[in-house]
Amino acid sequence: MSDLLFDRLGGADGVTSIVKSVVANHLANPTIKTRYENIEDLDATAQKVVEFFTVGSGGPGEYTGRSMEETHKGMNVSEEEFLAVVDDTMKAIKDHGLSEETYKDVLAILYSLKGEIVRK
């Protein structure tokens, strides 16, 4: 098996499945539920997240969305909300039975984005 994170996430099907789980987790999370319920086109947003995860993990294609900073500008995302998103994402990774190494790699990537998301 490839050491590429994209492959360890299960390729295109795996990434799509993980993102669907993450969205479901967010919609069930009282800390951030309202933010996600108020997204005008949640399916389109989820597709951008699939692109972001795919390209960011070494997969094929191109990310066509805005930067993290642009996307979150004016949202004033709190530390608590950021941690809720991270927790929901990591729960999805665990629920998909992925390796500890993959879990740690995704966690490191998420935390590397914190400065572009929180309090923007």
What is the number of structural domains in the chain?
Answer: 1
Provide the domain limits for residue 71: 5-117
pLDDT computed for residue 1 by the predictor:
58
- pLDDT tens-place string over residues 43-55: 999 999 999 999 9
Of residues 74, 73, 80, 75, the one with CA closest to residue 30:
80
Does residue 97 come out as left (phi exceeding 0), alpha (psi in the -120 to 50 range) or beta?
Answer: left
Give the burial class of 48: count Cβ atoms within 10 A of its Cβ; 0-12 exposed, 13-18 middle, 19 or more buried.
middle
30-88 per-position pLDDT tens digit:
999 999 999 999 999 999 999 999 999 999 999 999 999 999 999 999 999 999 999 99
Give the CATH number of the domain where residue 9 resides. 1.10.490.10
How many helices (H) and strands (E) in the chain? 8, 0
pLDDT range class, residue 116, cuts 50, 70, 90 = very high
- pTM of the predicted protein model: 0.95
> Of 58, 56, 49, which Cα lies nearest the Cα of 89?
49
